[in-house]
Amino acid sequence: MKKKILITGAGGFIAHHLVKFLKLKGDWVRAVDIVEPEFEESSADEFKLLDLRIRESCIEAVQDIDQVYHLAADMGGIGYITAFHADIARNNILMNTHMLEASRLAKIERFFYSSSACVYPDYRQNSNELEGLKEEDAYPAAPEEGYGWEKLFSEKLCEYYTQDYGFKTRVARFHNVYGPLGTYDGGKEKAPAALCRKIANSKFEDDIEVWGDGEQTRSFMFIDDCVEGIYRLMQSNHSEPLNLGTDVMVSVNELVDIIANVSGKKINKVHDLTKPQGVRGRNSDNSKLSEFLNWTPEIELKDGMKITYEWINSQVN
């Protein structure tokens, strides 16, 4: 039976792809954001421009809806989230709180919340050779300032709504999602898109600025795997926060080499130690993802980066 779905944040990268994914599944989709998608028109059945920091906007958004995928957030790359703690925390807590309560009052049957690997404590991420982060490693709490704290608080709010009201929530902790149709310039872009842009704008053997010494490590998940994982989690009975990412960790220097290779260019790295670089190492432990969803992300980094680089290259050139 066709469901009526609300996707918030649908002017942004992940939610825009999720709209297309759920439309292909045959669902009726209402998309909501404060801005429309930047690079192509939304495929949603209905697109509403709403400010979800306002309670009445959230009440309007959930009318006549069966399920909510709440991905709206004030966020960006490491440069952005380390510079605007108050704005990010305030805006996101307002959106998350109003959306949860509006959805509960509207008797939404299931609610997805997009959390982040930024909830994990700095003290577990001080090596670039660490083991994958397990979901229980989020406590004792010491998340990323601003963005990480509001994500962790909102995870707990979902838990309280389930405990106190029987409201069904699903929570995924995203680990560095990348792909085409994402922000690649302007300050809110993340590392893969920023590096793709720099290399696309470069000539053979040009210098490329890399933030930090480039030995900080991360795992990166292609957008198609991300939306598949979101959908599978929503169909599951797993109500606790779940990692959603790959467990293949690479350094930023290695990521530059992968992008340079798919671009066909030789690139020289110039490291800027004054720029923010985040935690020293972060990787996803996918044991619970595999156990509860019977699935893990499948797209290799070099294949996803080829698609991403070719799209960003076409935009900047």
Strand, helix or coil at 69? strand
Closest by CA to 72, choosing from 63, 82, 62, 64, is 62
- Whole-Å CA distances, 16 to 1, 118, 120, 272: 23, 22, 26, 33
**φ, ψ (nearest 5 deg) of residue 250:** -130, 155
**Residue 218 is encoded by which pair of tokens?**
């991360």
Shortest CA distance to 15 belongs to which of 55, 63, 75?
A: 75
Return the active site residues.
147
Q: Are strands 46-49 and 28-33 parallel, antiparallel or unpaired?
A: parallel
Give CA–CA dist 156/152, Å, rounded.
6
Q: How far apart are CA 185 and CA 7, in angstroms?
A: 24
CA distance linking residue 18 with residue 301, whole number of Å: 20
Cis peptide bond prior to 121, omega within 30° of 0: no
